[in-house]
Structure 1
Amino acid sequence: MLQLYMRGRRAFALLLFLIWSASATLLAGAAAAQTFPETFESGSKGGYATGSVELGSGTWTLDDALIGSTDSDKKEGEKSARIRNTGKLTMNTFLEGGAGTVTVRHAIYGNDAGSGWELWAMANNSACGCEKWTKVGATVISSSSTLETATFTVNTTAPVRFELRKVSGGTARINIDDFAVSGYDPTVPQHPDNDHLALGNPSNAVTDVNSPNNYLMRKPQYALSYSRERATPNWVSWHLDAGDRGSASRQDDFREDPTLPAGWYRVNENSYRGSGFDRGHNTPSADRTATVADNSATFLMTNMIPQAPQNNQQTWNNFEQYTRSFINSGYEVYLIMGNYGVGGTGSNGGTTSTIDQGRVTVPNRVWKVAVILPVGDNDVSRISAETRIIAIDTPNSNSINSGWGAYRVSVDEIEEATGLDLLSNLPESVQAVVEAKVDNGPTN
């Protein structure tokens, strides 16, 4: 009996091993079968309700999205994905080898109006247990009735998965086709040139409603961290070169920002009226004159702070003109502007802490950092101890000196006052030198 029992146990163990081996082989086969470009040809999903689809590149979750095959769907082949409202296409499988470049073909569905969409990436960082979505590149506008190609630089060796999010256009629909991913390319800079956050995200802001006072907003013209509590940006970061300047006139279309999360108070064009403070641009109107759309984007109220008129119209305007002067002589400039503290002195006199019935905080100090480089490639790697970096920190006061040179400080001093980590994408050895310096160069 004992021998029969032992033989039975060995047979059962062998059966389990065979089952495990077969499962492992199937899983390995499934992983090996993961192919790009994802053409959406192999899956079927006929409704917009959230659901998962098995595709050539793995399992995707489609939220307010489907696999379309009608004559109105723009596609290369028989099918493409179709998204409406604020729908999403989410890849559920990590690409273990990382990714280099992502290309996506896109178009409007039928004769629908144009819509905006974004690519987001999540790296699988098991070492810290910190998985989060990060926006890749700028928002893309689909407005063509034929498929166009959008290209994004990811360039990470970490396991990564992707999500496409429709972010504007309401019920207008878009088609997504041929989602392609190339492998990591060590020759591509980790921080893409001219990206508004190429030098770093000073507060590690994220586009997450659970982070309402450090909410990341990325626009084609600039990037910013927004504070719902203060109803102003904490900081705004942008790149400036000759391509940003053109013949577009100043739009003066101050308005609320419709891309703020639902339910958040939206500062509007009248919120500063009678307060004694200007609607002070962070990214200046004159830095964005290449197109009407670029200039108009600077008048969103998420790009504004209550700024003392003397500070805004004289001291700050003088510094803005100075930084713009470099782009006509072979330079490009990275700029970060921010504010901190509570209470400024406007044209009405006295210290004011808030305006707009207490909904908008008036900052006490206004600062800016300008990194000036000769035009070239691989910008982050070209910044050295000799690179000219100008940092200023001014009182938000109407009795301020009109000469910005009087307010020069080190980047370290601004970091100490604000708790931010500026220029964080630079090598630490370079940061240690350039952030400790106080600029002593010319002021005009």
Structure 2
Amino acid sequence: MSKATFAIIAAAGAATGAAATAAFFSTKKEAPPTITTTTTTTTATPTPRSAPPPAFPTTPTSYTAAQKALVDPNGIFQYGFPGPVADLRPAASLTSSYDRRTRNPAWVAEHITPQSLAANNADRKHSVFVEDVSVPEMFRAKLKDYFRSGYDRGHQVPAADAKWSQEAMDDTFALTNMCPQVGNGFNRDYWAHFEDFCRRLTKTYPSVRVVTGPLYLPKKEADGKWRVSYEVIGTPPNVAVPTHFYKVIFAEDGKPGGKVALGAFVLPNAVISNSKPLVDFEVPVEVVERASGLEFANKLEPARRKRLCQDVQCSLLIKEYAQRQKSFGNNQD
């Protein structure tokens, strides 16, 4: 992905909302180019070259034993490992990696199938939001952080995807599966319809894997410089409010070594009209990787990849939120 591409996605930052984000994403409708490898032999006239710069950093073997004895940077480990530490949480219905700095997950992965969605052995009204005690208290997102914050406790793996057991549904209510999300117009509307789209993919694919998480994207300010700016909630304020959210979808054909329809989407954490086409938010997976610092498909061979929105129609089925809530109780976030 070129620097220009990343600059454009950055331009669609938090303050610009859905319209500017969609303006960039709508330019990404073409299929990813096919990568071919060619070998070309050319004869070039040698040009004078200066001596190559010294290798950096210098390898430890270049130091003498006496020099090595002068300092011991690794001695700091006698007092503990500074980090960063990714709190990995494998649960029945999800696996997540928690970011202690933002008090948000970095990513949360789930697996849905026609069979898992057909099972109905849980009731959302029996689940409660809980702090994740596996995270040290000083780095933990707390229930009081969201109180009167103006944001929903936004599921990254939705409770509706884990109806196959009460324990599985309860797992989705830990705060390590939550991010602050705009409620009306996003979490309770467009984002909920997007989650429903992911579930409906199981009508076409026997296995669907989804990775969801927050992004903190820069925007260009009046002085021409790019800055990342996001709200922080809580007491003390330490839970970051993401500017955007992503989903990376792996729709599998169910065959060993089979094809995978890959789709990536980035949505602003803002009110989005239900009339906005979902494909306006489609991006190459490399855009999400570069923005998040994560890798999602580096082991998925190009020969096995398909583009999700070329394989199926990427569109939302709009349902009234109040009607949906009748199925899942009155817990709105």
Shift of 1:218: 1.7
Instruction: State the partner residue of 2:176.
Output: 302
Q: Distance in 1 between matches of 2:110 and 2:273?
A: 26
Q: Which consecutive unaligned segments of at least 5 residues does structure 2 have?
A: 1-79, 220-228, 317-333
Residues 343 and 363 of structure 1 are in contact (CA less than 8 Å); yes or no, is this contact kept in structure 2?
Answer: no
Q: What amino acid is aligned across from residue 382 of structure 1 in structure 2?
A: G
From 256, 272, 281, the counterpart of 1:407: 281
Q: Distance in 2 between matches of 1:414 and 1:228?
A: 20
Q: Distance in 1 between matches of 2:231 and 2:289?
A: 23
Q: What amino acid is aligned across from residue 258 of structure 2 in structure 1?
A: R
Residues 305/424 of structure 1: CA separation in 2 closer, same or farther (3 Å cut): same
Q: Which has the higher helix share?
A: 2
From 372, 387, 408, the counterpart of 2:251: 372
Cα offsets for 1:65-96 (capped at 9, x unmatched): xxxxxxxxxxxxxxxxxxxxxxxxxxxxxxxx
Cα offsets for 1:278-331 (capped at 9, x unmatched): 111011100000111000100000000001112211121111111111324552
Instruction: State the partner residue of 2:156.
Output: 282
Q: Distance in 1 between matches of 2:208 and 2:188?
A: 21
1:4-403 correspondence runs (5 A):
211-245=83-117, 246-247=119-120, 248-250=122-124, 251-260=126-135, 262-309=136-183, 310-328=185-203, 331-341=206-216, 353-357=231-235, 358-374=237-253, 376-378=254-256, 381-383=257-259, 387-397=260-270, 399-402=271-274, 403=276
Shift of 1:228: 0.8
Shift of 1:418: 1.7
Q: What amino acid is aligned across from residue 268 of structure 1 in structure 2?
A: K
Q: Distance in 2 between matches of 1:224 and 1:311?
A: 22
Aligned residues: 219
RCO higher in structure (CA 8 A, sep ≥6): 2
Residues 410 and 438 of structure 1 are in contact (CA less than 8 Å); yes or no, is this contact kept in structure 2?
Answer: no
Shift of 1:388: 2.5
Q: Which has the higher strand share?
A: 1
Residues 213/363 of structure 1: CA separation in 2 closer, same or farther (3 Å cut): farther
Residues 336 and 368 of structure 1 are in contact (CA less than 8 Å); yes or no, is this contact kept in structure 2?
Answer: yes
Q: Distance in 2 between matches of 1:280 and 1:267?
A: 13
Q: What amino acid is aligned across from residue 231 of structure 1 in structure 2?
A: R
Q: What amino acid is aligned across from residue 395 of structure 1 in structure 2?
A: P
Q: Distance in 1 between matches of 2:160 and 2:204?
A: 17
Q: Distance in 2 between matches of 1:372 and 1:330?
A: 6
Instruction: State the partner residue of 1:27.
Output: none
Q: What amino acid is aligned across from residue 295 of structure 2 in structure 1?
A: D
Q: Distance in 1 between matches of 2:201 and 2:265?
A: 17
Q: What amino acid is aligned across from residue 144 of structure 2 in structure 1?
A: N
Residues 393 and 408 of structure 1 are in contact (CA less than 8 Å); yes or no, is this contact kept in structure 2?
Answer: yes
Shift of 1:333: 0.3
Residues 369 and 391 of structure 1 are in contact (CA less than 8 Å); yes or no, is this contact kept in structure 2?
Answer: yes
Instruction: State the partner residue of 1:34.
Output: none
RMSD: 2.7
Q: What amino acid is aligned across from residue 160 of structure 2 in structure 1?
A: A
Q: What amino acid is aligned across from residue 248 of structure 2 in structure 1?
A: V
Q: Distance in 1 between matches of 2:128 and 2:209?
A: 25
Q: Distance in 1 between matches of 2:138 and 2:114?
A: 36
Residues 221/430 of structure 1: CA separation in 2 closer, same or farther (3 Å cut): same
What TM-score do you get using the length of structure 2 for normalisation? 0.59
Q: Where has structure 1 moved over 6 Å in runs of 4 or more?
A: none
